[in-house]
Amino acid sequence: MFANSNTKSSKGSNTLNVLTRDQHPVSRKFISTNALKVLHRLNSAGFDAYLVGGGVRDILLGITPKDFDIATNATPEQIKHLFRNCRLIGRRFRLAHIVFGRDVIEVATFRGHHDSATEKQQQCQKTSKQNEDGMLLRDNIYGSIEDDAERRDFTINALYYSAKDFTVHDFANGISDINDRKIRLIGDPETRYREDPVRMLRAIRFATKLDMKISAETEKPIKTLAPLLANIPPARMFEEFNKLFLSGKALVNFKQLREYQLFAYFFPTVDQALEVNEFPYLSTFITTSLANTDTRINSDKRVTPAFIFAALLWYPLQKQILQLKSTAPLSAQDAFFAAYHEVMSEQQRSIAIPKRFQAVMKDIWILQEKLERREGKKAFKTLEHIKFRAGYDFLLLRSVIEQDKPELTKLAQWWTDFQDSNYDTQQLMVKSLPKPTGAKRSLRKKRKPKQSNPATGTSE
């Protein structure tokens, strides 16, 4: 619990809570050296600069921050002038990235209110623009620190730490909500969600990440406004997918997305299949794969989003393959690639999956068929495949879920034993496999039939 002292903000409408150095645990020892460098240089140049948002929030919660964002009254151009290692990014809202090798400190100019923008700013679409649903397409209106606090999404993110006097400034009762473990939007929830529908996803992510509860007024409009997520660009939805599913909280986030009817805007085909229970294994397959992903992440093991995508779309892919085979005489390979193209084209409308992950997904799926063909040298070639481990893990997952398929369990066990055996044993294992059914292809070259010479009547 944190104490606070209250003063009125310059606008007079909000209560500003200021915590002095002895009233909070935020300290420079918890802040990255590079973030402190940026704060000090901005302050030395005569600008106001604060560590803001998640960095302050996490320290107050006893969590080690991963990111350190800074808010200032310096414009992006002024920031760039101060830092040679600065690059300006962003179209919707102009940001400065101060680059220290792999460490990037994000610096944003205090945001202002659209109704307080100058006439010149309002006339310039490059500065500010909204669509017909109220979503902000461009948002380069600058203001005071009070304006910036009101423009932030959640109360727990409207916290500012000053490196000059070591105080924490709380403009929206964020300290109280941290103490109460509550996720609450600043301002009218419907308006804020319309400005940026991704805030619905952020509410869920913060609640699960911080073990907090979404307040009733923040929660109420989510299901009604869920369709607004259809307007979010697929590239941004991919970024949100990573934050939700690669943070060690994938399973609980999946359940919350389903609860609030938001999952459909990530995977519409999968969501529809879950609604009607189209595939008997789908739900268990998803929850098991997500639980395994959480375990790996929380054990500091590597994961790839491609595996999750492959698990989510596996049964829709199988359905598409069967449909194609039933309507056209296609080979197994042709049916797979045609189905793959259909499934991925549909999915890309919701999430822009980068090609590097699509390639891994395809390898995982192709390996499922390759793992079945073990005769001759095929098992050894499959074992050398660059994505063998991912394909094998996927097979293991299938064998655990599809327990009514004993042949799948035997196949998974065979590959488990094969990997752990020496070369001689591996050769014996391959030779002991049942002979493949079907006619054998002759290795001998077919002789051409002799043709008779029409002139002589003898064969040549």
Distance, in Å, from the CA atom of 218 to the CA atom of 216, rounded to the nearest integer, reads 5
Q: In 386-448, at which residue ranges do the beta strands (DSSP E only) sit?
A: none
Q: What are the structure tokens assigned to 64, written together?
A: 């080690």
DSSP 28: G
Residue (of 123, 237, 174) closest to 4 by Cα position: 174
Q: Which amino acid is at 7?
A: T
Q: Is 165 exposed, middle or buried (0-12, 13-18, 19+ CB in 10 A)?
A: exposed
- Catalytic site positions: 67, 69, 153
Q: Is 81 left (phi over 0), alpha (psi -120 to 50) or beta?
A: alpha
Distances (CA, A) of 273 to 238, 245, 267: 21, 20, 10
Pairing status of strand 69-72 against strand 213-214: unpaired
The secondary structure of the chain in percent helix, strand, coil, rounded to multiples of 5, reads 50, 15, 35
